Structure 1
Amino acid sequence: MSVKSVRYYIYLKDVLLLSVTAFGGPQAFLAMVLDIMVRKRAYISEEELWELNALCQVLPGPTSTQTISAIGYRIGGPNLAYLSLFVWILPATLLMISAAFLIDFLQENTPGALNFAKFIQPMAIGFIIYAAQKTIFKMVRTPEATMLMMFSAFISFFYNSPYVFPLLLVVGGVTTSLKFRSQPVEEGDKKLVISWSNFFLWAGVLVFAALLGALTKNQSVLLFENFYRNGSLIFGGGQVLVPYLYTEFVEFKKFLSSQEFLTGYGISQGIPGPTFSISSYVGALSMREYGIPGLLTGGFIAAAGIFLPGTFLIFFVIRFWDQLKKYRPVRAALEGINAVSCGMLIAAAYLLFEPLDNNLFNVMAIFGTYLLLQFSKLSSPVIIIIGVLAGIGYNWVF
């Protein structure tokens, strides 16, 4: 085995280690990548890591997954990048498909069995409120951004169609790009040299899946197109994915109940790996009518659909990002896109609360989860475990 092959093998083993130990969201993930891949292995420099992560944050798709793929691309090109993507998402995908199996089995065989998630469902909203607060304080810093956030929240609440969200993102980006003169001028050659192959790959898959789905009406194809489209539009991380999935698969298509969705979201907060893995849970339950093969197919199709577009886009942009970021309208547009994403989060918190019983129990569970996240040092998995145990205890006593 060559030195290069050994290095690739060690890198994939490190990615697998991350996939089963990276609890706690993007901050914990970055800390582990910095420790293992920069300081211990020296795959890339610390400066390169921050630059790659910043690039991934301004692209649609799952930031942690794109960062892992981009590091693999820098080390060994596209083949290693795709392998690292597979290794990174597989454990979380399998866990969330297993969760879908469990929930479906309990629903079919033990009516009322989801009472064990009595605490988990309102707790999931507490997680969203906490994520919204963190995201808003980080991304909304100007009066224009605040107005866009409020406008987006209003529209998302009253017109919660999956087709409205992409339009809002475009409006937000165009609005703030118009004030590009407030951005500092970057020195250097601004001539762009672009290799379009990965862009055409991304766009080609999107158009082909949409056309094939429209022609065949095959549920597997339609499901892939749904998740691929969502993966192409999500800015702001896994928490921003929630309103998209809830609107499309609960409100619009009614493939899942609100109770099932909130239970799955709560479970996803307690497992390692990418937060976008909730897509596998939603995809699996969307095809439960086809039995075990349907659950498996739906889960893996959803994973492929949600993770592939961000990977194609990072491969496309990474080659000319240094030139692109010098364009002031591009940098200015990000402010509006981020503000709109924050507005969607606010709407999501309310829309997810709406189906729950409006009682003191649920309000206290939401508020208590937020306080634990904000003021305690307990990790998300520990908080979720506490919620599950509390739900089991409640059922046993009452």
Structure 2
Amino acid sequence: MNTAKLTNYHIFITFLKLGCIGFGGPAAHLVLFHNILIKKMRWLDEAQYYQILALAQILPGPTSSQVGISIGYLKNGYLGAFCAWLGFTLPSALLMASSALFGQYIFNTLNNIFFHVIQLIVLSVVVWAFWQMLTTLCHQFWQYILLIFSAVFIYTVPMAMNQFIVIFIAALVGGFLAKEQHQKEIFLKDSEAKLTAIKNSKAYIWLFIFIMPFFCFPLFNHFSPSVLIQSVEGFYQSASLVFGGGHVILPLLHQEFVSTGLISNDKFDLGYALVQFVPGPLFSFSSYLGALLPLTSSVTLNIIIASFIIFVPSFFLVFGTLPYWSWLMRQKIIYKSLQGINAAVVGLLLCLIYQMSEKYIIQSTDIIFVIILIFLLKMKFPVWLVLLSTFFTYYFYLNHYIM
């Protein structure tokens, strides 16, 4: 292992390169990190990397970004963590923000067919993500029951905290009903290895800071309501409830910004479709939203706020848990609760699919298009190629033969 101290500049440049080539979502990012940072550069040994990955799996938030933040933290402290995050996120954030700003000039020139096809693409991507998560995360009968309960509850109880309530209940149910699961062998490789985490006897303070916004934001909104406070709260709470994959943040952000009327449904769907084409974390979707939200009088500042706030919970969680890694990994209740949470978040996607299908499926050819697109995604062709080719094909078909 390379034990030489890295400069923050080196950390930033390395992760910037990874952010430029990191296509394919979290699974591909983690393989890329392993090949470049562990095998090639030897920043950490294999056991340390798998331990970090195991910890990131039990934390809410973007897994690949949290792994990057953890590596930067281990190599050069708090500033190293920030440089790792900034480098990995910057390319996708710039691309998404530019897409939103450029789109402002052409948005009104796009016809209804364009947005209809975009909506079907978003529906297809969510269905594919749902199927992947269902087959990966749900294996027990009670999880399927909890999944259905979560979907029905979210659909029938339109309240601001319904998703938080569902996840909380699911954690309790999982704690009681889940079977004890052994961690996957890949995470137990060299179980005697210890993370060389920065020693911090007061790391729990970061966990306290992580929790405080859940109590502070409602007070701010009560005494001094504003779009800025409402939006910051939306980004922070959404990022704090994401378990199981980046696609789960879609229904959370949709509830925060589309359901409240801050962003139109068409613009939201277009941004979510575009983020599938860019490298880096899916959470860079927030940069697109920031360019459209009236947080302040400065569009640049709005983009920076949205891009950073959605990752803030990840910083707090990594700083607050990494020094306690060995203790956390021994807590069976965490893994049991996570099985319940996983079922609930799959239920969130199921509810979203039903709601989207009600609005987006207009004719029988729409169903055929969605099925074909999901099949192509399953074939593991490049995502950008699949989405572009299917979009133009169906757009041409609708323009010339249907509408």
Q: TM-score, normalised by structure 2?
A: 0.87
**Partner amino acid for 2:96?**
M
| Gap change, CA 1:155 and 1:362, over 3 Å in 2 | same
Partner of 1:124: 122
Partner of 1:384: 387
* Paired residues for 1:320-335 under 5 Å: 320-335=324-339
| Gap change, CA 1:394 and 1:297, over 3 Å in 2 | farther
Equivalent pair of 1:153/1:343 in contact (CA under 8 Å): yes
Per the TM alignment, residue 182 of structure 1 is displaced from its structure 2 partner at its CA by 4.2
| Gap change, CA 1:28 and 1:225, over 3 Å in 2 | same
| Gap change, CA 1:239 and 1:180, over 3 Å in 2 | closer
Q: Deviations over 1:232-261 (max 9, x none)?
A: 11112211111111222222x022232222
Name the % identity. 26
Q: CA RMSD in A?
A: 2.7
Partner of 2:156: 158
Give 3-state SS (helix, strand or coil) of 2:253's partner. helix
Equivalent pair of 1:130/1:370 in contact (CA under 8 Å): yes
Per the TM alignment, residue 7 of structure 1 is displaced from its structure 2 partner at its CA by 4.8
Distance 2:6 2:207 in 1: 31
Structure 1 unmatched ranges of 5 or more? none
Per the TM alignment, residue 359 of structure 1 is displaced from its structure 2 partner at its CA by 0.9
Partner of 1:373: 377
Equivalent pair of 1:180/1:329 in contact (CA under 8 Å): no
Equivalent pair of 1:19/1:91 in contact (CA under 8 Å): yes
Equivalent pair of 2:5/2:75 in contact (CA under 8 Å): no
Give 3-state SS (helix, strand or coil) of 2:60's partner. coil
Per the TM alignment, residue 210 of structure 1 is displaced from its structure 2 partner at its CA by 4.0
* Paired residues for 1:206-355 under 5 Å: 206-251=214-259, 253-287=260-294, 293=297, 295-355=299-359
Distance 2:222 2:298 in 1: 20
**Partner amino acid for 1:382?**
L
| Gap change, CA 1:277 and 1:367, over 3 Å in 2 | same
**Partner amino acid for 2:353?**
A
Q: Deviations over 1:197-250 (max 9, x none)?
A: 211232344544443343222212221111111111111221111111122222
2:210 aligned residue (167, 187, 202)? 202
* Paired residues for 1:153-192 under 5 Å: 153-179=151-177, 182=180
Equivalent pair of 1:97/1:296 in contact (CA under 8 Å): no
**Partner amino acid for 2:220?**
L
**Partner amino acid for 1:385?**
L
**Partner amino acid for 2:318?**
I
Equivalent pair of 1:153/1:347 in contact (CA under 8 Å): yes
Distance 2:340 2:91 in 1: 34
Per the TM alignment, residue 367 of structure 1 is displaced from its structure 2 partner at its CA by 1.3
Aligned residues: 385
Structure 2 unmatched ranges of 5 or more? 193-200
Distance 1:297 1:60 in 2: 26
Give 3-state SS (helix, strand or coil) of 2:310's partner. helix
Distance 1:17 1:117 in 2: 33
| Gap change, CA 1:68 and 1:76, over 3 Å in 2 | same
Q: Deviations over 1:278-302 (max 9, x none)?
A: 12223332329x7xx5544433322
Partner of 2:80: 80
Q: TM-score, normalised by structure 1?
A: 0.88
Equivalent pair of 1:224/1:304 in contact (CA under 8 Å): no
| Gap change, CA 1:203 and 1:9, over 3 Å in 2 | same
Equivalent pair of 1:116/1:391 in contact (CA under 8 Å): no
